[in-house]
Amino acid sequence: MFNFIVEKQKDKEAYWYIVEEMVQNGQLPTNNWKGEFFHKNKSIKALVEMKEHYPFLKEADSIALQKSVENLSDAYSRYYEKQNEAPRFKSKKNKLQSYTTKYVNNNIDIKDNYIKLPKEGWVKFSKSREVEGRILSVTIMRNPSGKYYISICTEVDIEPLPKTNQSIGIDMGLKYFAVLSNGDDPIRNSKCFYALEEKLAKAQRILSGRTIGGSNWNKQRIKVARIHEKIANARKDYLDKISTNLVKSHDFIAIEDLKVADMVKNHHLAKAISEVSWADFRNMLEYKAEWYGKKVVAVNPQYTSQTCKKCGHVGKENRKTQADFECFACGHKDNADRNASKNILKLALSQVG
């Protein structure tokens, strides 16, 4: 369904490119072709007619088909606003597959460890937590390791956490995951990837020796996918615990506005930077702070490691070593990363007034 509609839209837009090429070749003075934008409602209405030509579509959940059109509409909206590239065809060979259906007229229900899904009926599942609030939608996903997950989106009222009147600055790093301005011990890196790197490399070497598409290749592919899944789950669990603890303990959190996409271009540090997942950590802090009535502010980290927290003197000579800071002007001494975290907090507080 998704690919069929994308193909139709590309056919409509092809005329614009044909006329544009004629302009470039000097065959036409200007390109006055008015291409037709993607219309969500027209595409949804066309589903009824498409089911008559393609009977297999009747086997699918109609609301899920409508949801795929809505997702495509969102993608085209971002494309027209130049926020991303044009939607591309989806491959059925992609090992990550999912579909989303919405709650309409009690078509979704949960009783004990069973969930009722449109067209599927009651399906048993392992409930990781109690479902609270009004159900909005459900997403069923199959990950590369072959496991199926169900994500239930609900609407609930989240109570703000009690105020602590505490503020903290966080300096991110590679040796230590984070150094805090309050003087607590640095937070160590989880090193989830390094713990399984050798096992993963061995599994990948075996996979490379298999015939692509064969049964043994597929079995080994699943083993590799499960190692990747274990690394990702361990990393996410570690970041969740740290971010939740920081949000619960502080009302104001100052972090660095790191350009991770540019930093990973350094091939000597790319693996280490990807391992610490600074971007995921920042995302967790921001949405949890929004949930619980706290505040997260990101500041430009430039010169925070070279600026003296006590007198404000800025200079490379202040950073004696990677770990030690000694101000050339006033003689103030501190751990270099902790001094930076204090500067980050000071900058963030100055931004919010």
Q: Rounded to 5, what percent of the chain is helix, strand, coil?
A: 45, 20, 35
Give exposure, 115-136, as e/b (b: 16+ Cβ within 10 Å). bebbeeeeeeeeeeeeeeeebe
Give every CB contact of residue 277 below 8 A, 6+ residues apart in sequence: 235, 239
Neighbouring C-alpha atoms within 13 Å toward the C-beta of 233 = 8
Residue of 171, 251, 275, 286 marked active site: 171
CA–CA gap between residue 99 and residue 65 (Å, rounded): 9
The single residue listed with the structure tokens 């003296």 is 308
Angle value at C-alpha 149, between 147 and 231, nearest 5 degrees = 60
Does 185 participate in catalysis according to the annotation?
Answer: no
Does 171 participate in catalysis according to the annotation?
Answer: yes
Residue of 251, 256, 275, 286 marked active site: 256
Give exposure, 56-75, as e/b (b: 16+ Cβ within 10 Å). ebeebbbbbbbbbbeebbeb
Q: Which amino acid is at 88?
A: R
Cβ atoms 285, 247 nearer than 8 A:
yes
Task: Classify residue 307 as exposed, middle or buried by CB count within 10 Å of its CB (0-12, 13-18, 19+).
Answer: buried
Residue of 251, 275, 286, 337 marked active site: 337
Does 251 participate in catalysis according to the annotation?
Answer: no
Separation of CA 252 from chain center: 23
DSSP, collapsed to helix, strand or coil, labels residue 148 as strand
Active site residues: 171, 256, 337
